[in-house]
Structure 1
Amino acid sequence: MSDKRVYSDNPRVLAVQTLAKIKNGAYSNLQLNQIIKQHKLGEADTRLLTTLVYGVIQHRLTFEYWLEPFIGSKKINPWVRELLYTAVFQMQYLDKIPQHAIFNESIEVAKILGHVGIGKFVTAILHNISRQGLRDVADIKDDVERLSIEYSLPVWLVEELIKQNGDKHARQIITSINDAPKQSVRVNTVITTDEEVVQALEAENFIVESSKVAAHAFVVSGGHVASSKAYHDGWLTLQDESAMLPVESLHLTPDVKNILDAAAAPGGKTTQLAQYSAPDAIITALDVHEHKIKLINHNAERLHVADKIHARVLDARKVPEQIDKKFERILVDAPCSGFGLLRRKPEIRYDKTIEDVASLARLQAEILDSVSQNLAKNGIMVYSTCTILRQENDDVVTKFLKNHPNFELMPTKTSYKLKLDDSEKALHVYPSDYQTDGFFVATLRKND
């Protein structure tokens, strides 16, 4: 961060400050929400701030490659580097802002957060870029390195995606990862209908399209849905379309009374379980953090399903020790690397390593092994993650089945019968398939 204590409502200043904080470990979505709440920004400034922050994070390795010839070994303040990245992002990816405006605004930000000397340094760099141009990523000879720089993904992740999916499919996934995420909602059919929600949103000038991925779901544009009356009244909740699929695949029927959500926070799937289950069903929702239990309860109250949800602090690996109940259905939406969420949380690509993936796979296996002991005979357990790496998906399920011969893998069936023609029984949803988050869903049945 800049040494100067600056309060400003200038979206470019806020973008640089936010990016510096994210580089220091803050999460992009949480930091952005906090900044937007603290400052009185109009819709256009909020949109510019969001675009700059996500744009720089998504393309950070590309910007490093482009700027290296102009900066070289010079030691510069991290916030100055973020400022240069925002300028290059606007020059390369935003076609409605003229170059002279980008230069003038960037130099002004340099002066606000620093001093005249930094302003002159930024001026010199930007004018050199204008005169000399940026080097072409296509000049990189190595295919993996080129993909890494062009789409700003670590080399190890590019290598894994190619190894696991083949070159053609991996490229489809990689080229879709930096697309803008869609805003999607799930209708709360406990208190309203799809038709009523569409009418309510359209009355507030939202554009509403039916989901092709999940039932009672819509893709919404034209505004901030969480500010709508329908959201405030609990008629809907924000949830990615692919995130709705694990609950759909649990085959909830009227005779299912006891359901375990083993890793429940923040409660999106927990409230979906309450919505789809019998009126007298009880959902036991677990998380290891007290503040996240409060978040689950808050979401349950807003959606008018709190009477069906019993949330408690408990590590899912301790379920057999602490809970003697048997459940007809168990959802394990496991903690994971989150590589299916790169559109929404772009910074995680730089934080995670292949060693982290292996560590998470061990945790996921421990959770599955633990909660499976509380599944009733002929009960169904769904294992899901929001990652696209097989180490945390297929490999975890394969290991579990090897160690638990009384379980079988069933075809994962969703409301819209996604990918049922695939040879694999588990469901893999990649970001390139439906322009949603990447997700994995496996459906397991206990036979004794």
Structure 2
Amino acid sequence: MKKVQSDNPRILAVQTLSRVKEGAYSNLQLNQVIKKNELSLANRHLLTNLVYGVIQHRLTLAYWLQPFIAGKKLDNWVRELLYSALYQWQMLDKVPKHAVFNESIEVAKKLGHSGTTKFVTAILHQIDRQGLPDFKQIKDPVERLSVEYSVPTWLISELEESLGLDKVTAILQAINQAPHQSVRVNLKKATPREVRQLLTEEGYEVEASPVAAEGLVIKGKNSVVHSKAYKLGLITIQDESAMLPVEALQVNEQVKQALDVAAAPGGKTTQIAENLPADGQVLALDIHDHKLKLIEQNAERLGLSEQIQVKKLDARKIPETLTEKYDRILVDAPCSGLGLLRRKPEIRYEKSLADVESLAKLQLSILSAASQVLSQNGIMVYSTCTILPQENDQVVAQFLADNPDFEQIPVQTSKNLKADRTEAALHIYPDDYQTDGFFLAAFKHRE
């Protein structure tokens, strides 16, 4: 691939995808490219859409392209160019086929040589003549779902075992939908009604969240980070389901000391502080200095610095380090993040079952350590942003087996979600409310 300086979003997308394929983080790489190039809003959207779209649908695109490149040796960037052409052609309604072809051939010209240009032209016209292979040709249902929704077979198999094929299919359909913007209102500064009015005046379409009491769902082309409400510290950008762990803590006027054991970047820490009485405090832990700074910055923006303390600490060392007891403890544990596939599409290719099992051991050790500083009448909530039982129900079962002085209590949420469920824990799957996937369990000392 030639080194080319360009502000063409299609060229930038191919360059970015090639670097991501070589190991760069997609979000960091994309942010760097956007910062370096003066792009119009439309071109920035197209670049972002192409990069995340190709990553999100990589297994599907590979299946479609394979019959046409079998036995041919392709440079990384040529493969990414063909993937981006297929993505635009098949998955973007507003880009006509002739434009996709012409633009892709132009990118091949700019980044390659005449041979590459002829090759890309030939492949695109061959696909147009012969048509794409049909998913129905794949007999195995798990493999077919894997290719159609671009999710590894191991993950589909694990989910199918606990949820069944129909539910898994609904989840897969949901994770490939674009996430909407949602925000949490800072109750120390404003009411949801006031914030809703302010955002509406700025041209955003705003609805109350059906999931979280302090949540608002925002529609509009501009990111809400540019809004007056954000700049005044009235809102935090947060997925609706990510607001639920703090709701489950049941923070009230009697709560004076709270602990957030894996707190960065501070979204849930600030939510706890917003619900504490004026003399309440929350201690936020993390093992990285730069992440503690993020918590402090978030606290300052929201006007909550006086109620939030930070401490550098490995949560597994809580019992020998912290001497106080806490009325509320949140263990939003490090996890595989497989409930976040709408927002972080590459996670699906990076994680393995071995990673999940290793994380489950870490989660259990953190939960056990945190439980030792819970006050006698306190509540502890364990949450993850994953949807696999190994990191959720199985961790809870093992914790209760190891700690008979604790009991699991039903998770309570402001909107009384899944009120008819029979289990104490709360599972939120991406297809339930079109949010991120989350798991919540709550505990108290046994009477």
TM-score range, shorter chain: over 0.9
Superposed, which structure 2 residues align to 1:46-445 within 5 Å? 46-222=44-220, 223-445=222-444
Q: Which shows bigger deviation, 360-369 or 53-62?
A: 53-62
SS of structure 1 residue aligned to 2:295: helix
CA deviation after TM superposition for structure 1 residue 52, in Å: 1.1
Residue by residue, what CA displacement relative to the aligned partner does 1:269-324 show, whole Å, maximum 9, x if unpaired? 01101101111111110111111111111111111101111112111011112211
Residue by residue, what CA displacement relative to the aligned partner does 1:377-396 show, whole Å, maximum 9, x if unpaired? 12111000000000000000
Letter in 2 for 1:300: A
CA deviation after TM superposition for structure 1 residue 364, in Å: 0.2
CA distance in 2: counterparts of 1:436 and 1:226, whole angstroms: 19
CA deviation after TM superposition for structure 1 residue 117, in Å: 2.3
Partner of 1:447: 446
Aligned partner of 2:26 among 20, 25, 28: 28
**Structure 1: which 5+ runs fail to align?**
none
**Structure 2: which 5+ runs fail to align?**
none
CA deviation after TM superposition for structure 1 residue 444, in Å: 0.7
* Count of residues paired in the alignment: 446
Residue by residue, what CA displacement relative to the aligned partner does 1:97-145 show, whole Å, maximum 9, x if unpaired? 1111111111111222223322222111111111111110111111111
Q: Is the Cα–Cα contact under 8 Å of residues 378 and 447 in structure 1 kept in the other structure?
A: no
Letter in 1 for 2:322: I
SS of structure 1 residue aligned to 2:88: helix
CA deviation after TM superposition for structure 1 residue 32, in Å: 2.7
SS of structure 1 residue aligned to 2:345: coil
Residue by residue, what CA displacement relative to the aligned partner does 1:224-257 show, whole Å, maximum 9, x if unpaired? 1111121111111100000000000001111111
Identity of aligned residues (%): 61
The root-mean-square deviation of aligned C-alpha atoms, in Å, is: 1.2
Change in CA separation of 1:209 and 1:258 when aligned onto 2, cut-off 3 Å: same
CA distance in 1: counterparts of 2:293 and 2:341, whole angstroms: 26
Letter in 1 for 2:249: L
CA deviation after TM superposition for structure 1 residue 30, in Å: 3.4
SS of structure 2 residue aligned to 1:341: coil
SS of structure 2 residue aligned to 1:256: coil
SS of structure 2 residue aligned to 1:379: strand
Letter in 1 for 2:349: Y
CA deviation after TM superposition for structure 1 residue 82, in Å: 0.9
Letter in 1 for 2:63: Y
Residue by residue, what CA displacement relative to the aligned partner does 1:345-382 show, whole Å, maximum 9, x if unpaired? 00010010000000000000010111111111121110
CA distance in 2: counterparts of 1:48 and 1:131, whole angstroms: 27
Q: TM-score, normalised by structure 1?
A: 0.97
CA distance in 1: counterparts of 2:149 and 2:189, whole angstroms: 43
